[in-house]
Amino acid sequence: MTSCLLLMSIAAHGVIETYQFDTDVQRARYNHFIEELRCPKCQNQNLSGSDSAIAEDLRRQIHRMIMDDKSDIEITQYMVARYGDFILYRPQFNAATAVLWLGPLGLLFIGLIVWWRMASMRARPKPIDKDLSPTEQQQLKDLLVDEDLVRKDGGAQ
């Protein structure tokens, strides 16, 4: 019983950040930023879901910038300048991130070309070897025709 109370008291001491906003628009902007920006320490967690100290600092900084009437572009530029493109879940398109944006399309294009080449090679008729005598060529053609008939007939003889 005592251990259960001890565990519940630890959870009660968790920090819940509450920031005051003048308008609902400011609150919506704040929520948008903490959902869309990645915690630099937690790797793949947004600022709203992170309990790290740096996430707390970034949430505080975002609140301060919003209250100072900074635009969304200014806030994003500040964060990118300080932490790099990594902080953005959807990095901006530029030379450094072109591979991230165009890589999947390039791989899809290469896959389609390989599929098309393989399909066209299968559909192309196989050439009969020209080094065979006319009699041998005729025998080979007859064998191929017989094989095609067996395939079409379902292998029944």
The CATH number of whichever domain residue 44 belongs to comes to 1.10.8.640
pLDDT average, residue stretch 99-126? 87
Number of folded domains that form the chain: 2
Domain extent for 53: 15-87
Residue 69 resides in a domain: yes
130-147 burial: b if 16+ Cβ within 10 Å, else e: eeeeeeeeeeeeeeeeee
In this prediction, residue 154 carries a pLDDT of 62
Whether the per-residue pLDDT at 143 is higher than 70: the answer is yes
Q: Is residue 118 part of a domain?
A: no
Per the domain annotation, does 23 fall within a domain? yes
Band of pLDDT at residue 30, cut at 50, 70 and 90: very high
d(CA 87, CA 138): 71
Residue ending a domain, choose from 38, 63, 87:
87
3 state SS of 28: helix
Q: Is residue 40 part of a domain?
A: yes
Name the band, by pLDDT with cuts 50, 70 and 90, for residue 156: low
Could you tell me which residue, 46 or 59, shows the higher pLDDT?
Answer: 59
Kindly report the pTM of this predicted structure. 0.54
